[in-house]
Amino acid sequence: MTEIHDPRRIELSLTKKYCKKIWSRFIKGIKTYDLIQEGDRIAVCISGGKDSMLLALCMKHLHKYSDFPFDVEYIVMDPGYSPANRAKIEENAAILDIPVRIFESSIFDTVVNIDQNPCYLCARMRRGHLYSYAERLGCNKIALGHHFDDVIETIVMGMFYGAQMQTMMPKVHSSNFTGMQLIRPLYMVREQDVVAWARYNGLEFIRCACRFTEMSAEDEHLSKRLEVKNLLARLRKNDPCIDMNIFRSVENVNLETLISYHKGDEYHSFLERF
C-alpha cells in the first residue's frame, strides 16, 4: 500500500519533534553567520537528496514566518538524471509542497568520460549553472544543503589529501557572478538528524545519481570523502566530541603557533617575528 504523506504534518515535524535537532540549529546558523537579510531573493538549490530537500522545507517554513521579508525560489537542475530519479524528485517536491522550477543541462554527458577528478568538475559545472539560472530569476543568493558533517569532512580532507588547513565556509561571494553569494543554512545541522527526520516522515530521496557513481558503485573505497566519513565514524565511537573539536580547531586558529600562513597570495613565515 502506498503511504499517504501529509505535507503540513511533515513541515510541522521541523518545529515540533525536530525543533532542537534541526529547526533551532537551522535558525542558529542563519543568525550566527548572518546568512539572510531583508530583501534577499534566494534560490534554494535542490539536487533531490535528503539534505537539499530538507533545506527547501526549512526555507519554505522560514519564508512564511520570518520577521522580515525575503523571497525564495526553489530550483532543480536536471544534469541528465534517469527518468526514475527525475520522477522521484518531482514526487518528493509534491509531497513536501515545494513549488520547484526545473531546468536542464547536459553536465552528466560532459563528465562521464572524464578520467581525472570527474566529481570535482561536475560540482564546478553544476555550481555555475545554478548561479546563472538563479541570476536570471533575479536572485542575489543561492542556498545549498551542506550540513555540519560536510564541514567536518572537508576540514579533514583538506589536511589529509590537500596539505592545507581550510574549511567549508557558511557563506562565500561568487567569484564569477558579481553580487551573488552562496549560503549554507544547514551549516549547524547534523547528518544523523537529517536521516532521522526523513525516516520519521517515511520519506525516501535519491542519492548521487550521476553515471560515474553508477559505474563505480562497487569501488566506493576509492572515494576520499567516504574514507574520511568512515574514519570519523570510528573516532566518534570513542570520543563523541571529535567533530566539534575538529570544528573548533578552525575557529581557534592561533597564527603565532603556525609555521607559515597566507591570505590570498600574501605569505608569511613564523621567522618574520622570531
Whether residue 221 has pLDDT greater than 70: no
**pLDDT tens for each residue of 240-264:** 999 999 999 999 999 999 999 999 9
Side-chain half-sphere CA neighbours of 218 within 13 A: 1
Measure the CA angle with vertex 158, ends 248 and 112; round to 5°: 135
| Inter-residue contact 170 to 33 (CB < 8 Å) | yes
Whether residue 222 has pLDDT greater than 70: no
Whether residue 27 has pLDDT greater than 50: yes
pLDDT confidence bin for 218, thresholds 50/70/90: very low
- Of 31, 33, 58, the residue nearest 44 (C-alpha): 58
pTM: 0.92
Which segments of 49-200 does DSSP mark as H helices, in order?
A: 50-65, 83-95, 107-111, 118-136, 148-161, 191-200
**pLDDT tens for each residue of 81-125:** 889 999 999 999 999 999 999 998 877 767 666 666 667 777 788
Instruction: Sort strands 181-183 and 171-173 into parallel, antiparallel or unpaired.
Output: antiparallel
- Please give the average per-residue pLDDT across 66-91, as a whole number: 94
pLDDT confidence bin for 169, thresholds 50/70/90: very high
The superfamily CATH assigns to domain 7-272 is HUPs (3.40.50.620)
pLDDT of residue 3: 62
Identify any residues that bridge with 74 across adjacent strands, giving them in sequence order. 44, 100
**pLDDT tens for each residue of 142-168:** 999 999 999 999 999 999 999 999 999
- Please give the average per-residue pLDDT across 190-199, as a whole number: 98
* Cα–Cα distance measured from residue 185 to residue 208, given in angstroms and rounded to the nearest whole number: 21
